Structure 1
Amino acid sequence: MDAHQTITCEIPMRWGDMDAYGHINNVEVARLLEEARIHAFGPPGGTGGLGEDPPVALFSSVDQGVQALVVEHRIKYTATLDYRNIPLKIEVWIGQVKPASLAISYRIHDPVTGRICVKAETVLAFVDGTSGALLRITDRQKAQLAPYVGAPVFG
């Protein structure tokens, strides 16, 4: 992997995330990715209460009325992810920055074996919440993300 920084998140698995086979259900993986994304880049402004500052305050520092919307998810399961009563290790970084969107890359590791069980990517765009207009990624946002930009997980 190239020399960019990654953000490692520890996200708890929930008993209810498990399917009948003892694996984390595929639908719950999308929720785990969302938790990692918010842990890494902060909750959208005006949501929730005060908490710890994220490593990169990308979502919590946008102007009022700006929404970060999911454009696409891509998830590849490389091994079963068994339920464990300890947090998952999820690596997060920016796989690509385009003029009006960014791709967040993830790897979910089994917390006991360290094996990569899931590779995923979420493409996001910023939108004006009133007009619905697509917004360009700002120079400030590019600078915030620069240390975390690396090869896409599906590169």
Structure 2
Amino acid sequence: MRWSDMDAYGHINNVQVVRLLEEARIQAFGPPGGTGAAGQDPPVPLFSSVAAGVQALVVEHRIKYTATLDYRNVPLKIEVWIADLKAASLDIAYRIHDPVTRRVCVLAQTTLAFVHGESGSLLRISAEQKQQLEPYMGPGLFR
């Protein structure tokens, strides 16, 4: 958590929660190919291994705040997994825990799709990508 993530009530601001989800997603699945400089390899290089010109775009975020997430100057615990794999999109689920009390404060899910950057056409999730993600499948949070 960063000091600037806090709102006037001492909680992590809801807009900053979306940024935390993005950071957790990049930590788990890699930055988009061609961005930034070389760094640490992610556990699953889903986004960093797509072909040049392919973009992973956010289709939807769903967020449920189950408790206030108070600012603390210690790292958060964010669980990340694949909740669903469809033909042309995938759902990434998250659970954010308070790092001290360990209570769940946020449940969230992001739907992403791969798109060809120039044409804007939707791309199907390949068999290789599905196989790569299968070990990280878990339950969806919003059904």
Could you say which TM-score interval applies, normalised by the shorter chain? over 0.9
Aligned pairs for 1:9-20 (under 5 A) are: 13-20=1-8
Q: Which residue of 2 aligns with 1:3?
A: none
Deviations 1:2-32 (A, max 9, x none): xxxxxxxxxxx11010000000000000000
Q: Which residue of 1 aligns with 2:83?
A: 95
Offset, 1:136: 0.2
Deviations 1:55-75 (A, max 9, x none): 100000000000000000000
Aligned pairs for 1:76-115 (under 5 A) are: 76-115=64-103
CA distance in 2, matches of 1:53, 1:153: 28
CA distance in 1, matches of 2:142, 2:66: 12
Letter in structure 2 aligned against 1:121: Q
**2:40 corresponds to 1:52:** yes
Aligned residues: 143
The runs of at least 4 aligned residues of structure 1 exceeding 6 Å deviation read none
**2:13 corresponds to 1:30:** no
Q: Which residue of 2 aligns with 1:149?
A: 137
CA distance in 2, matches of 1:133, 1:154: 27
Gaps of 5+ in 2: none
Gaps of 5+ in 1: 1-12
Under a length normalisation based on structure 1, what TM-score does the superposition of the two structures give? 0.91
Which has the higher relative contact order, 1 or 2, with Cα contacts under 8 A spaced 6 or more apart?
1
Under a length normalisation based on structure 2, what TM-score does the superposition of the two structures give? 0.99
Letter in structure 2 aligned against 1:80: T
Using the aligned pairs only, state the percent identity: 76
Letter in structure 2 aligned against 1:120: A
